[in-house]
Amino acid sequence: MEFKDVIKSQDELRALMGAPVAPPVVEKTLSSLDRHCFTFIDRSPFVLVASSDSEGRMDISPKGDAPGFVKVLDEKTLVIPDRPGNQRFDTFCNLFQSPRIGLIFLIPGKRETLRVGGTAQVVRDAELLETMSAKGKVPALAIIVHVDEAFFHCSKCVIRSRLWQPEQWPKLDGLPTLAETMKDAASVPGPVEALDGLIKDDEENRLY
- What pLDDT, on a 0 to 100 scale, did the predictor assign at position 23? 64
- What pLDDT, on a 0 to 100 scale, did the predictor assign at position 21? 75
- What pLDDT, on a 0 to 100 scale, did the predictor assign at position 186? 85
Q: Where are the domains of the chain?
A: 10-159, 170-205
| DSSP element (H, E) containing 64 | strand 58-64
Angle at the Cα of 55 from the Cα atoms of 49 and 61, rounded to 5 degrees: 15
| DSSP element (H, E) containing 10 | helix 10-17
- What pLDDT, on a 0 to 100 scale, did the predictor assign at position 206? 92
- What pLDDT, on a 0 to 100 scale, did the predictor assign at position 187? 83
- The three-class DSSP label of residue 80 is strand
Architecture label for domain 10-159: Roll (2.30)
CA distance 151 to 180: 39
pTM, rounded to two decimals: 0.93
Provide, rounded to the nearest whole percent, the portion of the chain with pLDDT above 90.
92
Q: Which residue positions in the chain have pLDDT lower than 50?
A: none
- What pLDDT, on a 0 to 100 scale, did the predictor assign at position 26? 66
CA distance 173 to 170: 9
Contacts of 206 (CB under 8 A, 6+ apart): 84
